[in-house]
Structure 1
Amino acid sequence: MSSFCTSVPQLIATQGVIFGFGGCISYCPCTLYIDEWFVRRKGLAYGIVWSAVLPLVLEVLLQNVGFQKTTQICAGILFAISAPLSFWVKPRVPYSANMQKKPLNMGFATTKVFILYQLANVIEATGYFLPTIYLPTYARTTLGVSNFLGALTAILVNVSATVGLVLMGYVSDKPRVTTCMLISAVGVATSVLAIWGLATNLATLYVFCIFYGLFAGCWPAIWPGIMKERAKREGDGRGRAANPMVLTHLCFGKGIGNVVSGPLSDVLIKGRPWQGKAVGGYGSGFGWLIAYTGVTGLLSGAAFLPKYLKLV
């Protein structure tokens, strides 16, 4: 339906509402059942599932056949692959009518620890998408490269994020959640503030894209660690019962950050702040955007300190 849209409201209705609603219905069982099938390698399982190849295919299709054909091809791919597989999507624990009588365990949402994690989650989300959105434009306007070389920046971020999700998924099965957050935060802040901020050529920008994808794109793979921590705190039975809602709350928090980042980015680049007044990327007119992304990336790891000092 979206391939035939001729206005923004039509795109919002099809891609935003209808696709979002249908995608949620098919997506949620697949991710929530992972919690039942995997225990010791839960983080790795989630990391593999969340790593995606389709965004890379989208970039190539958009460049070669345009928006209309791309959406039609993707619709065919999604249906051809997901429809047959849906018959094998099932929980490990058989469904019981008695489960309907059990109230949802939502107590975790008001605990100090989860609020701290959720705050870090929202902060990270407000800055996460900004580089991916503006990198192609930045490469073309600041470095004067072609459209293809500019689009390659987003491709590199997506490829690296795919690898980062799997790696962080493996790592999150072992150390503390806050340690994983700190690894991601330091990696994001260093890559944004030191590499992108001081970049003066395309090669350096590509290096940034790889590092940013690895450390920023891996963030959702930390969520299973939060789920495991909650299960441990509340006991096996109640903890596992709450895990689907923990994941739901974290997805919702990331969604809020993503929505906020849109209008926020307009404010950050309005008037091209610091243009010609600073070095590297800071003087490109995207200075505030770079600084904001780096700072929010660093703040996403701030939960490490209260946990380390045992304040929560």
Structure 2
Amino acid sequence: MAMRVLVGGGSGFVGRELTRLLQAKGHEVTVISRQPGPGRITWDELETRGLPLCEGAVNLAGESLMNPLRWWNESYKMDLFSSRIDTTKTLAQAIAASPNPPHSWVLVSGLACYKPSLTAQYTEDSEWTPFDLFSKLVKEWEASALLPDSVAKITKQVVIRSGIVLGRGGAMKQMMLPFLLGLGGTLGSGSQPFPWIHVSDLAGIIAHSLEHRVDTPSPSPPQVLNGVAPALNTNYEFTKELGRILRRPTVFPVPGFVLNVLMGSERAAILTEGQKVIPKRTLESGFQYKYTDLTSALKEIVGN
């Protein structure tokens, strides 16, 4: 059945892929953006006019964590928080105030809630408490999406915690450049887990969440799905496979201290540390992945 879907941050890398997928399925997409245009509304319009009639709502908005043009400082950190929390809160409040709330409300957050470890494995059922800057961000981010009980009786709430998104664009361009120059190598030790997902599969999980209602107690708490591929890979495995497919050497590792200097230690930890994350509930939901292993995902991305 065709739906009208409202997508915050729909003009970004994942948003464009999601829009293409939803439209291919026959759904109508309206993007919330800072810039007005055909098929768009602005965040100001959402606040002043309220939620347009829709059956599904998604928020993907947020300042890029790996923006190479921004120095790691307090201003950048504030923007990371406000761009995610404020937009999510605005959309959640619009849903709560609507006389006809959508049947599905999906927030895409991140894996930073799970503490980096070389041995621990996390599923959606894993308990966690904030332990650093980014886990605090996830806590506040997801909390800002919560709907009042009166609305949660009607609207299914879903949180998708995304891994590193691979695709023809986004952060992948930055990852590939050193390899194309013959300077590719592991980041830090290379032994850290590398939880990833192909952008097509992340868009697919979002669409699956919008289209399939789940029988849960009313009002239902948010359904959490891990947006990662089923494979468990390390940074070393990712590096070697990307180098093999590009036919480029991978002999120039980047020491952790260099990343700390260039990116700031808190931000660099996203690359030099990682978590083993299993998409247990995502698989149980019936979602079918297109790219379950690095080889197939990377071959699609680089065109081999």
Q: Report the structure number with the largest CA radius of gyration.
A: 1
**TM-score scaled by length of structure 2:** 0.30
Q: Which has the higher strand share?
A: 2
Higher relative contact order (CA 8 A, sep 6+): 1
